[in-house]
Each structure stands twice: as structure tokens, then as C-alpha cells.
């Protein structure tokens, strides 16, 4: 599964385009975000991607979950969004 890592500096429209491309090919993707700003950008990206794929007759299913990740030797809690197209 492809993992898109989103930060507070990520551009939602760009991430949405990448997400839409992945969903058209694989039907499933994962977005990972650490911190409230990154989660905000991730949610915006998912919302915009929905508009990109809706004309193709596809709908999104989003499953939020927690994930533990290692960053520079420290364990952080990330929010991951498993995004599926139907």
C-alpha cells in the first residue's frame, strides 16, 4: 500500500492529485500525519481528492487510525487515514 506522508507545509491540492492518481490505480492508499496541522492538511487533501474522483463514479471510504512511527530514534504517534475508492 502506498503511504503519503503529509506535513503542515503540504499543499492539499497537490496531495489530493497524488491521492486521486493512486486511488484510480490501486483503489487504496494510506495517508500519515503527525500533529494537528498535518492532520488538518490531510483532511483537506482527502476532501479535495473526493471531488477529483467523483466524476468517475467513485466514492471514498476513509478509516482513521493511530500508528506508531520512529522519527530520529523517537517513537511518535501518527494519525493514519486508510482511503479506499468504491
Stated pTM of the model: 0.92
**16 — pLDDT class (breaks 50, 70, 90):** very high
Bridge-based pairing of strands 60-71 and 74-85 is antiparallel
> What percentage of the chain reaches a pLDDT higher than 70?
99
CATH number for the domain whose boundaries are 3-85: 3.30.110.20
Q: What is the mean pLDDT of residues 80-84?
A: 97
The 10s digit of each residue's pLDDT in 19-40 is 999 999 999 999 999 999 999 9
Amino acid at each position: 500500500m502506498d503511504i503519503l506522508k503529509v506535513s503542515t507545509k503540504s499543499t492539499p491540492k497537490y496531495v489530493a492529485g497524488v491521492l486521486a492518481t493512486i486511488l484510480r490505480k490501486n483503489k487504496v492508499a494510506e495517508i500519515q500525519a503527525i500533529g494537528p496541522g498535518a492532520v488538518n492538511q490531510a483532511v483537506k487533501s482527502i476532501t479535495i481528492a473526493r471531488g477529483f474522483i467523483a466524476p468517475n463514479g467513485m466514492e471514498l471510504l476513509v478509516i482513521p487510525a493511530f500508528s506508531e512511527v520512529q522519527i530520529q530514534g523517537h517513537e511518535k504517534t501518527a494519525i493514519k487515514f486508510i482511503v479506499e475508492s468504491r
